[in-house]
Amino acid sequence: MDFRFSPEEDAFRQQIRDWLKENLPENWETAAGFSRGRDDETASIYKDFAKKLSTRKWVAPHWPIAYGGLGLSVIEQLIYNEEMAYANAPIGYSSIGVGWAGPTIIVYGTEDQKQKHLSAITNAETMWCQGFSEPNAGSDLANLSTKAVRDGDDYIINGQKIWTSGAHYADWMILIARTDQDAPKHKGISYFLLDMKTPGISTRPLIDMMNNHGFNEVFFENVRVPRSSLLGEENRGWYMAATTLDFERSSIGGAVEAKKMIQELAEYARDTKRNGTRLIDEVPVRVRIAEAGIEAELGRLLSYRVATLQARGSVPHYEAAIAKLFNTDMKLRMARYGMEIMGLYGQLDHKSKWVQLKGRFKRQYMWQTGLAVGGGTTEIQKNIIAMRGLGLPRG
């Protein structure tokens, strides 16, 4: 593991910082809350920002140049992710396209599919969603029952997805559906690139505990799609979905958000008095902030370990699970510390005139609770660490 950055990498970091200073929408966070561009109030902020990034080829800078990226190294990608996370930049519009759909198309897509989809993602023309989970298929994803049945040159899709983030704005969906009812459950699944405007698709909102409309249920009723929307071979979709999930879990940079939160909390504790005493002068507050600072640094190093492995051409499995598990738990603890230090103010949301630090800690607390489930639950990460990392037998 190498902790140092090269002078070129430091210069790249500075370039991003300078650009962000010029281009971050003013006061966007106050307006946006934490809904990540998935409500009417914020969707345009996210889309406009993605458009600005596209002018620098910074929507997916780590993608090959031929597909609209800049061919950045894994470490440069880490720097990019860190700076975007540190600035809390509104990059959600392209996140599923760049992080999940695009890389899977790069690996398995035909030339036509690459031509059609990749530059549309890097030009911020299309937003993607992920139709994997179903009411009876989450951790045990291969249990899915949405069907795609061959009919001449088409497939006809029937079934339901759930927890589909952003489906109400998305132009395209990566969808997995059962194409062989009789095969063992992992072997009868296919992977589709689905145009969300196809007749027969309807979405119903699911409102989360932050009162945001981020998730949806998506229903498919006799949705007819051409054979060209199949990605890779029929019935090999499970293996492609595993690739998508590897990309999803190894996304890096999140721990840096925690570092920023700690800096803000320390500043708040220095500037705020309770009963005539500065919060920072209370020993339990100081200890908590120090502990949180150490944890944030540990989280960052775990993310660097994943990035270093990727830079050397290895595929991190249990290492990515450790980083995801630690960082999700750490950010949840950190958000809780923040709320406790603020006392009752910590529970207010950003619209209250009494809100402290824009209500970020409360929002982070609720958001991180969800992230302990999304992308593979805490228990599933522990299973991966136990089996692949420690070599323990399957429970």
Ligand X SMILES: Cc1cc2nc3c(=O)[nH]c(=O)nc-3n(C[C@H](O)[C@H](O)[C@H](O)COP(=O)(O)OP(=O)(O)OC[C@H]3O[C@@H](n4cnc5c(N)ncnc54)[C@H](O)[C@@H]3O)c2cc1C
Closer to ligand X by Cβ: residue 340 or 379: 379
Asked if 29 and 37 count as a contact pair (C-beta separation under 8 A), the reply is: no
Q: Is residue 272 at the binding interface for ligand X, with CB under 6 A as the rule?
A: no
**Minimum distance of ligand X from residue 125's CB (angstroms):** 20
**Minimum distance of ligand X from residue 151's CB (angstroms):** 25
Bridge partners, 217 (sequence order): 204
User: Which residue, chain included where needed, has tokens 């106050």?
Assistant: 30
Closer to ligand X by Cβ: residue 44 or 139: 139
Q: In 132-151, which positions are buried (b, 16+ CB within 10 angstroms) versus exposed (e)? A: bbbeebbeebeebebbbeee
Q: For residue 92, give the nearest of 45, 27, 30 by alpha carbon.
A: 45
Q: What residues contact 169, with CB distance under 8 A and at least 6 apart?
A: 37, 38, 43, 127
Select the span of 46-54, 143-151, 152-160, 368-376 touching ligand X (CB under 6 A): 368-376
Q: Exposed, middle or buried, 211 (CB in 10 Å: 0-12/13-18/19+)?
A: exposed
Q: Exposed, middle or buried, 27 (CB in 10 Å: 0-12/13-18/19+)?
A: exposed
Q: Is residue 192 at the binding interface for ligand X, with CB under 6 A as the rule?
A: no
Query: Is residue 319 flagged as an active site residue?
Result: no
Q: 162-181 mask for ligand X (x: CB under 6 A)? A: -xxx----------------
Strand-pair category, 128-131 with 189-195: unpaired
Which of 114, 374, 385, 389 is close enough to bind ligand X by CB under 6 A?
A: 374
Q: Is residue 361 at the binding interface for ligand X, with CB under 6 A as the rule?
A: no
Q: Is residue 387 at the binding interface for ligand X, with CB under 6 A as the rule?
A: no
Q: 125-164 mask for ligand X (x: CB under 6 A)? A: ----xxxxx----xx-----------------------xx
**Minimum distance of ligand X from residue 337's CB (angstroms):** 22
Q: For residue 227, give the nearest of 152, 120, 131 by alpha carbon.
A: 152
**Minimum distance of ligand X from residue 354's CB (angstroms):** 28
Q: State how far the Cα of 111 lies from the Cα of 107, in Å rounded to an integer.
A: 11
Closer to ligand X by Cβ: residue 25 or 374: 374
Select the span of 81-89, 325-333, 343-351, 377-385 touching ligand X (CB under 6 A): 377-385
Select the span of 9-17, 84-92, 313-321, 372-380 touching ligand X (CB under 6 A): 372-380
Q: What residues contact 166, with CB distance under 8 A and at least 6 apart?
A: 37, 38, 92, 96, 127, 129, 214
Report the residue closest to ligand X, judged by CB. 138
Q: Is residue 379 at the binding interface for ligand X, with CB under 6 A as the rule?
A: yes
Name residues contacting ligand X, limited to 233-262 (CB under 6 A): none
| Options 83, 248, 257, 319, the catalytic residue | 248
Select the span of 287-295, 313-321, 343-351, 371-379 touching ligand X (CB under 6 A): 371-379
Select the span of 261-269, 304-312, 348-356, 369-377 touching ligand X (CB under 6 A): 369-377
Closer to ligand X by Cβ: residue 99 or 299: 99
**Minimum distance of ligand X from residue 202's CB (angstroms):** 17
Which parts of the chain fold into alpha helices (H)? 7-23, 28-32, 40-55, 74-86, 95-96, 102-108, 111-122, 237-249, 255-271, 283-311, 318-342, 360-371, 378-384
**Six-digit token pair at 300?**
């960052």
Q: Exposed, middle or buried, 275 (CB in 10 Å: 0-12/13-18/19+)?
A: exposed
Q: What residues contact 393, with CB distance under 8 A and at least 6 apart?
A: 387
Q: Is residue 370 at the binding interface for ligand X, with CB under 6 A as the rule?
A: yes
Q: Is residue 383 at the binding interface for ligand X, with CB under 6 A as the rule?
A: yes
Asked if 64 and 103 count as a contact pair (C-beta separation under 8 A), the reply is: no
Closer to ligand X by Cβ: residue 356 or 368: 368
Name residues contacting ligand X, limited to 292-331 (CB under 6 A): none
**Six-digit token pair at 298?**
């540990």
Amino acid 186 reads: H
Q: Which residues are catalytic?
A: 248
List contacts with ligand X (CB under 6 A): 129-133, 138-139, 163-165, 370-371, 373-374, 377, 379-380, 383
